[in-house]
Each structure stands twice: as structure tokens, then as C-alpha cells.
């Protein structure tokens, strides 16, 4: 499957380094690693603005949709329409729904059906996959 933005691993590494991304950003976004819970810079971050893909800059979430799910990762109840693609993930002996950036296929995290109304969704994201833009 092709995406609007494609690069080699070396190009992604260089891009993330130039942006000052967290050390885990490459493994998280390009190889579906998961940061440890309660360690990400956005887990308890509540500023007003928007969250973007650290790799390509695509807007993913508005800060008003962020909530404290108590799970150890930044959680959102609503994604920007069309910004996220979902895939069935059967790794680690579980069945989950992986979320990736529609523009560049960066692994973001997973979405679960246990979030607040009105969506009932919890987009559980890795901080290392996100970049924040204040209003």
C-alpha cells in the first residue's frame, strides 16, 4: 500500500532527528514500538492547541478532545476526519485496532471502544508519535 508521503528508514531517522523528536520516535512510528506507560511528554500535558504526526505534520487531534483515561498514554475521543487509518492488529496475542497516520503510515497507537461519549472511543497514542502546536 502506498501513502502520499513515503521515505526510507534513513530519511525518516534524519527527519525525526532534525525535528528534535524523542529518541523512541523512530521505533514507535516506523516499527510500531510502544513507549512505556506514564513516560510520554504529552501524557499529562493539557495546553490548548492541536496534535500532529511527528513524521509528516498532519493534524490528528484537537486538544479539546484529549482526556485523562488513566492508562498512561495521551488519549483522545475524536480524531480529525480522514487523518487516521485503522488496521486490525493481532500482535502480542491480542486483537486490537492499530492507528496510523493516513498521510505517512506512521504508527500512532491503538483505538479502543471504551472512551467517553459522544464517540465512545479512546484513541490511545504514543507521545513519541505526536507533535504539539499551541493556539
Active site residues: 124
DSSP state of 127: G
Going from N- to C-terminal start, the domains of the chain cover 9-134
CATH class of residue range 9-134: mainly beta
Query: pTM surpassing 0.85?
Result: yes
25 closest CA partner among 128, 130, 132: 128
Instruction: Give the 3-state secondary structure of residue 15.
Output: helix
Question: pLDDT tens track of the chain, all 135 residues?
Answer: 567 788 999 999 999 999 999 999 999 999 999 999 999 999 999 999 999 999 999 999 999 999 999 999 999 999 999 999 999 988 878 789 999 999 999 999 999 999 999 999 999 999 999 999 999
107 closest CA partner among 132, 120, 92, 89: 89
Amino acid at each position: 500500500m502506498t501513502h502520499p508521503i513515503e521515505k526510507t528508514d534513513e530519511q525518516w531517522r534524519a527527519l525525526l532527528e532534525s525535528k528534535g523528536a524523542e529518541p523512541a520516535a523512530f521505533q514507535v512510528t516506523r516499527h510500531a514500538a510502544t513507549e512505556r506507560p506514564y513516560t510520554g511528554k504529552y501524557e499529562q500535558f493539557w495546553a490548548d492547541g492541536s496534535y500532529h504526526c511527528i513524521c509528516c505534520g498532519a493534524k490528528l487531534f484537537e486538544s479539546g478532545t484529549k482526556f485523562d483515561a488513566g492508562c498512561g498514554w495521551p488519549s483522545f475521543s475524536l480524531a480529525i476526519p480522514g487523518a487516521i487509518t485503522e488496521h486490525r492488529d493481532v500482535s502480542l496475542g491480542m486483537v486490537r485496532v492499530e492507528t496510523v497516520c493516513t498521510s505517512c503510515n506512521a504508527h500512532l497507537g491503538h483505538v479502543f471502544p471504551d472512551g467517553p461519549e459522544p464517540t465512545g472511543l479512546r484513541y490511545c497514542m504514543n507521545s513519541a508519535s505526536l507533535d504539539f502546536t499551541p493556539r
